[in-house]
Amino acid sequence: MIEEHAQQIAEQWLTRAAESAGQKDLEGHMGMISKRVSVQGVPGFDNIDYDTWYKQCRHQFEMAMIKSIAYKGFNLVSSTETQVVFTVFEAVMGTDGRLNEQIVEMSLEIEPDDVWRLVLERVLIENDAMRNHELSS
């Protein structure tokens, strides 16, 4: 897959993820997440699976806890015809005024229904994130 196409897939996914969260569209948001998803590196959790993510989003959306989500600093790590791996800076603004910022590595895969979904997200510690960005420059 050419880099421009991989970047377009990822950026469209990020835009839809941010919009669905901002609109508190639980079904739309979770439709972008694979049932096989694994989230790693979140303090206090060994691994977050689909069911845990669903419950967390449902609670956050019902309680209107998220004001906005923004992404910047897209960095393509690798891509194939069925997978796009990238790092991005994520900023989640809560309605309570708290800002949670982190660099995450995301892996999207195209699933049998031809929808690109998140299958892996890793919250990177600062040194890993810096090294990943340096290697790809």
Q: Give the predicted TM-score (pTM) of the model.
A: 0.86
Q: Do β-strands 83-94 and 66-79 pair in parallel, antiparallel, or remain unpaired?
A: antiparallel
CA distance 57 to 65: 10
Give the CA angle between residues 107, 23, 38 to the nearest 5°.
25
Specify the pLDDT at position 130. Answer: 46
Percent of the chain, pLDDT > 70? 90
Specify the pLDDT at position 125. Answer: 67
Can you list the positions of beta strands (E) in 7-115? 33-40, 66-79, 83-94, 99-110
Domain boundaries, the chain: 3-136
Does 29 have pLDDT greater than 90?
yes
Specify the pLDDT at position 134. Answer: 47
Specify the pLDDT at position 2. Answer: 83
Burial class (CB in 10 A: 0-12, 13-18, 19+), 84: buried
Map residue 112 onto helix, strand or coil. coil
CATH of 3-136, one of 3.10.450.50, 3.10.129.10, 1.10.3720.10, 3.20.20.70: 3.10.450.50
**CB hemisphere CA count around 64 (13 angstroms):** 1
Does 135 have pLDDT greater than 50?
no
Specify the pLDDT at position 124. Answer: 87
Per-residue pLDDT band for 126 (boundaries 50, 70, 90) equals low
Map residue 2 onto helix, strand or coil. coil
pLDDT tens, residue by residue, 81-124? 999 999 999 999 999 988 988 999 999 999 999 999 999 999 98
pLDDT tens, residue by residue, 35-91? 999 999 988 888 999 999 999 999 999 999 999 999 999 999 999 999 999 999 999
